[in-house]
């Protein structure tokens, strides 16, 4: 039934907070290349903007090195070149007028650095967290659909880690949401672990049932109908809203209000419906 799902690791090994912490706390060595001190200062201010505390700035700047510094490291995890300076293919250009473009290119090309970059350098935090939330929400949506028609949708399953066999799609979705909670906390430079995130995990456990009730409440606003698309869209929306609530909690100290969750759910449901519908159409084609 699930032969096309490769079980590279067990679900519980992927739920290891120690592994998430190890990835997030990976030491980084970042190099900067520019022609003058003003350009160097601009890149440093980008990496540690005013929102970053003085102590945090001092901490992370120990891993950042100008090419003009004496005794620079031999190897770097990431190198930024000031705009206008010829940049090799192995490095990235810092677009001073569009730094978001720089972040986007790095996050897309260096997924392996996502967690430590987000943990250490504030401009990377939101893009990396958004990527985590969207990826896990998509995985849950696809699994919810595939669990209903496993023999019809094998090519849709592009989930990048082992699924194994679960008693229900709710079990998989809940476990994957726990994994998302660890990743979002790590990317937000917060403590990661079952004890450290106990309140969040209790909320996820309750949500395994609560998000279904929320979906029923929205029937008057969104015609759920029947079939695979609503099933996958609900899984996407429930996971996405949970992730955004966790992001909000780590950013300001409290989660979404009920009204915010309802509004976010409606938007996420529409997005999930489009995603699942497109996947199904692609398969049928």
How far apart are the C-alpha atoms of 85 and 34, rounded to whole Å? 7
Alpha-carbon distance of 140 to 236, in angstroms, equals: 6
Q: Which residue has the higher pLDDT, 134 or 3?
A: 134
Give 57-75 pLDDT, tens digit per residue: 999 999 999 999 998 999 9
Q: Residues 137-148: pLDDT tens digits?
A: 988 888 777 766
Q: How remote is the C-alpha of 250 from its chain's centroid? A: 14
pTM value is 0.82
Q: Is the predicted pLDDT of residue 263 greater than 80, yes or no?
A: yes
Q: Is the pLDDT of residue 224 over 50?
A: no
DSSP category for residue 123? G
Beta strands in the chain, from DSSP E residues, in sequence order: 30-33, 64-66, 78-82, 92-94
- DSSP category for residue 53: -
Strands 30-33 and 78-82: parallel
What percent of the chain has a predicted confidence (pLDDT) above 70? 78
**Of 115-129, 201-215, 236-250, the least confident:** 201-215
When pLDDT is cut at 50, 70 and 90, the band that residue 175 belongs to is confident
Residue 42's pLDDT is what?
A: 95
CB 217 within 8 A of CB 241: no
Q: Are 145 and 153 in contact (CB under 8 A)?
A: yes
pLDDT at 3: 35
**Domain residue ranges of the chain, discontinuous segments joined by +:** 11-22+125-284, 27-113
Strand partners, 93: 81
Query: Residue 80 — pLDDT band, cuts 50, 70, 90?
Result: very high
For residue 33, the SS3 value is: strand
Instruction: Quote the tokens at residue 274.
Output: 């489009």
């Amino acid at each position: 039934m699930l032969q096309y799902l490769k079980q590279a690791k067990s679900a519980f090994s992927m739920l290891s907070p120690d592994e998430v912490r190890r990835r997030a706390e990976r030491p980084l060595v970042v190099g900067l290349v520019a022609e003058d001190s003003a350009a160097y200062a601009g890149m440093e201010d980008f990496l540690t903007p005013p929102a970053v505390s003085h102590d945090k700035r001092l901490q992370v700047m120990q891993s950042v090195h100008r090419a003009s510094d004496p005794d620079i490291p031999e190897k770097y995890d990431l190198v930024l070149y000031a705009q206008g300076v010829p940049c090799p293919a192995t490095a990235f250009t810092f677009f001073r007028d569009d730094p978001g473009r720089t972040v986007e290119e790095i996050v897309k090309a260096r997924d392996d650095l996502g967690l430590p970059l987000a943990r250490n350098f504030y401009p990377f935090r939101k893009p990396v967290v958004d990527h985590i939330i969207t990826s896990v929400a998509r995985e849950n949506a696809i699994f919810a659909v595939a669990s209903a028609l496993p023999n019809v949708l094998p090519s849709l399953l592009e989930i990048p880690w082992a699924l194994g066999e679960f008693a229900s799609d709710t079990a998989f979705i809940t476990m994957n949401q726990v994994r998302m909670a660890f990743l979002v906390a790590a990317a937000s430079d917060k403590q990661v672990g079952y004890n450290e995130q106990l309140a969040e995990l209790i909320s996820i456990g309750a949500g395994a049932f609560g998000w279904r009730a929320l979906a029923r409440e929205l029937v008057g606003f969104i015609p759920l109908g029947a079939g695979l698309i609503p099933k996958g869209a609900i899984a996407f929306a429930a996971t996405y809203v949970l992730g955004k609530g966790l992001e909000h909690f780590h950013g300001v100290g409290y989660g979404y209000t009920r009204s915010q969750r309802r509004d976010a759910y409606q938007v996420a449901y529409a997005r999930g419906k489009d995603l699942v519908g497109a996947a199904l159409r692609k398969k049928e084609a």
